[in-house]
Chains A and B, each alone.
Chain A
Amino acid sequence: MVLALTFVSSFLACSKGETPAPAATEPAPAASAAPAAASAAKLDGEVYGAGVSLAESTPVSKLLADVDAYDGKTVRVEGLVTEVCEKRGCWMNIAGDQPFQNLRFKVQDGEITIPVSAKGKYAVAEGTISKVELSKEDALAMREHEAEEQGKPVDESAPLPTFSVKLAGKGAVIRERM
Chain B
Amino acid sequence: MARAAGPDWFRLNRVTHRDVGYFVAVLTVLYAVSGLAVNHTDDWNPTYAITTAEVELGPVDVTDLNAAEAQIVAALKLDPAEVRGHHHVSPTELKVFLDEGGEVSVDPATGHGRLKRVTPRAGLFQANALHLNRLKGVWTYVADAYAVLLLYLSIGGILMLRGKTGLLGRGKWIVAAGALVPIGFLWAW
Contact = CB atoms under 8 A, between A and B. Distances in A.
B91 A80 contact: no
Main secondary structure of the interface of A (DSSP, over half): loop
B41 A87 contact: yes
Nearest to B46: A87
Nearest to A47: B136
A2 B91 contact: yes
Interface of B: 41-42, 45-48, 50, 52, 62-63, 65, 84-91, 93, 95, 97-101, 103, 105, 114, 118, 132-134
Main secondary structure of the interface of B (DSSP, over half): strand
A113 B132 contact: yes
Nearest to B50: A86
Contact of B87 (A17, A82, A116): A82
A113 B97 contact: no
B90 A25 contact: yes
Nearest to A118: B101
Chain A interface: which size bin? 35 or more
Contacts of A115: 101
A90 to B, nearest CB: 11
Contacts of B100: 116-117
Contacts of A116: 47-48, 100-101, 118
A143 interface: no
